[in-house]
Amino acid sequence: MERGVATEAAVIAYLTRRGIPVSIPFGDNERYDAIIETPDGRPLRVQIKTANYSDGVVKISGKSQHTNSQGHEYKQYRGDIDYFLGYSSDLEEMYLLPEGVIKSRISLRVDEPEQSHGTINWAETYEFDAQWPPEPAEDDRLARQTTTRKVLTDLEALDIPAWFSTDSVPYTVIVERNDGELLRLRIRSVSLNDAGKLQLNATGSIDREQLDFFLIYCHDLSQSYLIGADEFEKTIKLRVQDTDHHRGLVNWAIEYELERRRADLCDP
Considering only 43-47, 168-172, 223-227, which range has the smallest mean pLDDT?
168-172
Do 126 and 205 reside in the same domain of the chain?
no
> By C-alpha distance, which of 76, 213, 230, 221 is closest to 153?
76
- Predicted confidence at residue 164, as pLDDT, reads 76
Do 27 and 111 reside in the same domain of the chain?
yes
> By C-alpha distance, which of 100, 133, 101 is closest to 21?
133
User: Average pLDDT of the chain?
Assistant: 83
Residue 16 to residue 25: CA distance in whole angstroms:
17
Percent of the chain with pLDDT over 70: 80
Tens digits of per-residue pLDDT, 90-144?
999 999 998 877 867 889 999 887 765 556 788 998 999 988 998 876 665 666 6
- Predicted confidence at residue 101, as pLDDT, reads 78
- Predicted confidence at residue 216, as pLDDT, reads 92
Range of the domain at 255: 140-266
Do 150 and 226 reside in the same domain of the chain?
yes
Which of residues 134, 161, 187 is at a domain's end?
134
Do 100 and 173 reside in the same domain of the chain?
no
pTM: predicted TM-score of the whole model, two decimal places? 0.53
Do 116 and 201 reside in the same domain of the chain?
no
Residue 132 to residue 119: CA distance in whole angstroms:
24
Beta carbons within 8 Å of 11's beta carbon, 6+ residues apart: 34, 48, 85, 87, 94
CATH at 55: 3.40.1350.10
Which of residues 134, 150, 176 is at a domain's end?
134
Do 171 and 147 reside in the same domain of the chain?
yes
Residue 109 to residue 112: CA distance in whole angstroms:
7
Residue 104 to residue 109: CA distance in whole angstroms:
17
- Predicted confidence at residue 215, as pLDDT, reads 94
| Residues 253/220, Cβ–Cβ less than 8 Å | no
Beta carbons within 8 Å of 154's beta carbon, 6+ residues apart: 217, 224, 258, 259
Burial readout 181-212 (b: 16 or more C-beta within 10 A, e: otherwise):
eebbbbbbebebeeeebbebebeeeeeeeebb
| Total tally of structural domains belonging to the chain | 2
| Residues 68/163, Cβ–Cβ less than 8 Å | no
User: How many other CB atoms are found less than 10 A from the CB of residue 80?
Assistant: 18
Segment 24-39 shows an average pLDDT of 82
Do 225 and 174 reside in the same domain of the chain?
yes
Segment 14-33 shows an average pLDDT of 84
Do 89 and 150 reside in the same domain of the chain?
no
Do 95 and 164 reside in the same domain of the chain?
no
- Predicted confidence at residue 133, as pLDDT, reads 92
Torsion sign, CA atoms 187, 191, 197, 202:
negative
Which of residues 91, 112, 134 is at a domain's end?
134
- Predicted confidence at residue 134, as pLDDT, reads 87
Do 164 and 247 reside in the same domain of the chain?
yes
Do 6 and 110 reside in the same domain of the chain?
yes
> By C-alpha distance, which of 30, 34, 25 is closest to 96?
34
Which pLDDT band, with edges at 50, 70 and 90, does 10 fall under?
very high
Segment 202-225 shows an average pLDDT of 81
Do 7 and 127 reside in the same domain of the chain?
yes
Residue 76 to residue 105: CA distance in whole angstroms:
10
